[in-house]
């Protein structure tokens, strides 16, 4: 078999890349280890930056997202017994976030790729990178020759590992995890609430008018079964009901998961014909909701660079791929680390705790600080 771009992984990165390249008439094959059902049901952060929304709309993927997603013009930071709204409409006019589940984005991408006749293969669990001199993959006893390999196979994939000797890795882990909770209950507030309580961080988010999503800061070795439904609601209430008049509505919990908190970057994002994109190249803690948005930003740059390669033969954009992406990646690394250290409870000394409180207070009172948070949260403009 032969194709121009062999894409490993059908997460948001691989699927959007396949869609954008095939729209330019560039042949691709996508190989995914898991089933379609699995890919379409993974629950992850559901906050889309303005640029992500614009990119998906431009690519003809906006119909359901615009109809079913909810546009939010602010978020609340809750600490010290009060809520402080970061008002996007005032601080970053014209830019907002759209709350739309990541698995919905994935469903839309899979449907669009299949409708366009893209060669999308699920349940392929033995993909190997055969070589980079004459780039090819092997799977299921077959050989797939290609010009480029797009490593869109997430943090635990094979692509980054195949070129590990060529990469520098920068990494930070945090001394806690997030317990994620999905519940059949209407959101208790119209916008997201980032609560820095004395008991630890907690987030109130949502998926629809009748489904809420919550996160609790928990010890890193926590397992979902360690938490009963009652214990989850008690802790969510204790961390959120810290302002007068706020009551957290409860309902049946439908899913509980634990996510590790990690910052990670591998550089460069290109080694010869192998191009890394999304979680395969970098991870952020979910506090800033940047993971999916960074994957989309990478793929935008990559699709344009590969388009130029096949259209004009120029490799200028391809040669700049890694540096172009890493500028945005490191901005998001800093923002995600900043939000994480600002809002979580650390086993730190009293001095550090006082500093953290002073910083939160500064964000709540200073327009300059609030604007810095807002412009990063809704997403800085793309370089192109
Ligand atoms: N062969 C084929 N597919 C693989 C392999 C492999 N060896 N290893 C991993 N995969 C697949 C995974 O099953 C997954 O479907 O690659 C896909 C990677 O998708 P994601 O993990 O969603 O990563 P990405 O597309 O970069 O999306 C980034 O996802 O993890 C979230 O928070 C993150 O929102 C961010 C977004
Ligand atoms: C979510 O809704 O899943 C979500 C929202 C904001 C975050 C992380 C996750 O920062």
| Domains in the chain, number | 1
Rounded to 5°, the CA angle 66-71-72 comes to: 170
For residue 13 and ligand 1, the question of a CB distance below 6 A is answered with yes
* Residues found in the chain: 384
The answer as to whether 159 is a domain residue is yes
pLDDT value for 43: 84
pTM over 0.85: yes
pLDDT at position 191 is 98
152, part of any domain: yes
Euclidean distance between CA atoms 48 and 362, whole angstroms? 26
In this prediction, residue 42 carries a pLDDT of 87
The pLDDT score that the predictor gives to residue 268 is: 98
Which residues of the chain register pLDDT less than 50? none
Token digits of residue 109: 């991408």
Residue nearest to atom 1 of ligand 2 (CA): 45
In a domain, 204, yes or no: no
CB 32 within 8 A of CB 14: yes
Main-chain phi, psi angles of 68, to 5 degrees: -105, -20
Q: Kindly state the greatest CA–CA separation across the chain.
A: 65
Q: Report d(CA 275, CA 309) in Å as an integer.
A: 14
- By most ligand atoms within 8 Å of CB, the mutation choice from 121, 152, 278 for ligand 1 is 278
74-79 and 5-8 as β-strands: parallel, antiparallel, unpaired?
unpaired
Count Cβ atoms below 10 Å from residue 123 Cβ, excluding itself.
12
- Dist. CA 225–CA 223, nearest whole Å: 5
The ligand with the least distance to the CA atom of 46 is 2
CATH number for 277: 3.50.50.60
For ligand 2, mutation pick of 105, 192, 373 (most atoms within 8 Å of CB): 192
11 domain-assigned: yes
- Does residue 77 fall inside a structural domain? no
Residues 276 and 325: beta-carbon distance below 8 Å: no
Do 363 and 341 form a contact (C-beta atoms < 8 A)?
no
76 in any annotated domain: no
Q: Read out DSSP for 23-35?
A: HTT--EEEE-SS-
Contact predicate 6/153, CB 8 Å: no
Residue 118, domain extent? 5-71+97-171+261-344
- In-domain check, residue 156: yes
Residue 131 is predicted with a pLDDT of: 84
Q: Is residue 193 included in any domain, yes or no?
A: no
């Amino acid at each position: 078999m032969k194709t121009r771009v062999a894409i490993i992984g059908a997460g948001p990165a691989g699927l959007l890349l396949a869609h954008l390249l095939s729209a330019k008439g560039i042949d691709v094959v996508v190989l995914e280890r898991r089933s379609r059902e699995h890919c379409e049901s993974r629950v992850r952060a559901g906050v889309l930056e303005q640029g992500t929304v614009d990119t998906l709309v431009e690519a003809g993927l906006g119909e359901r997202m615009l109809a079913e997603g909810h546009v939010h013009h602010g978020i609340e930071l809750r600490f010290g017994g009060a809520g402080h709204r970061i008002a996007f409409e005032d601080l970053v006019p014209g830019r907002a976030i759209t709350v739309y589940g990541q698995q919905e984005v994935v469903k839309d991408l899979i449907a669009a790729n299949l409708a366009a006749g893209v060669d999308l293969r699920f349940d392929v669990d033995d993909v190997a990178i055969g070589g980079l001199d004459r780039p090819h993959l092997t799977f299921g006893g077959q050989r797939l020759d290609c010009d480029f390999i797009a490593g869109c196979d997430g943090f635990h994939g094979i692509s980054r590992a195949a070129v590990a000797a060529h990469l520098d890795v920068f990494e930070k882990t945090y001394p806690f995890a997030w317990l994620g909770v999905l519940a059949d209950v209407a959101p208790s507030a119209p916008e997201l609430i980032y609560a820095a309580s004395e008991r630890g961080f907690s987030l109130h988010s949502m998926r629809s008018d009748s489904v809420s999503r919550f996160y609790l800061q928990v010890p890193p070795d926590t397992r979902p079964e360690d938490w009963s439904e009652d214990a989850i609601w008690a802790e969510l209430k204790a961390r959120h009901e810290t302002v007068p008049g706020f009551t957290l509505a409860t309902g049946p919990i439908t899913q509980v998961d634990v996510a590790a908190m990690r910052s990670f970057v591998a550089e460069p994002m290109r080694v010869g014909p192998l191009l890394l994109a999304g979680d395969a190249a970098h991870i952020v803690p979910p506090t800033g909701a940047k993971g999916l948005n960074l994957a989309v930003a990478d793929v935008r740059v990559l699709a344009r660079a590969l388009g130029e390669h096949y259209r004009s033969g120029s490799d200028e954009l391809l040669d700049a791929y890694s540096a172009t992406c890493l500028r945005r990646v490191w901005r998001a690394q800093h923002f995600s680390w900043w939000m994480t250290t600002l809002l979580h409870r650390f086993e730190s000394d009293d001095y550090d705790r006082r500093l953290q409180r002073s910083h939160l207070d500064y964000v709540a009172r200073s327009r300059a600080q609030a604007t810095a948070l807002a412009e990063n949260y809704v997403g800085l403009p793309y370089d192109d």
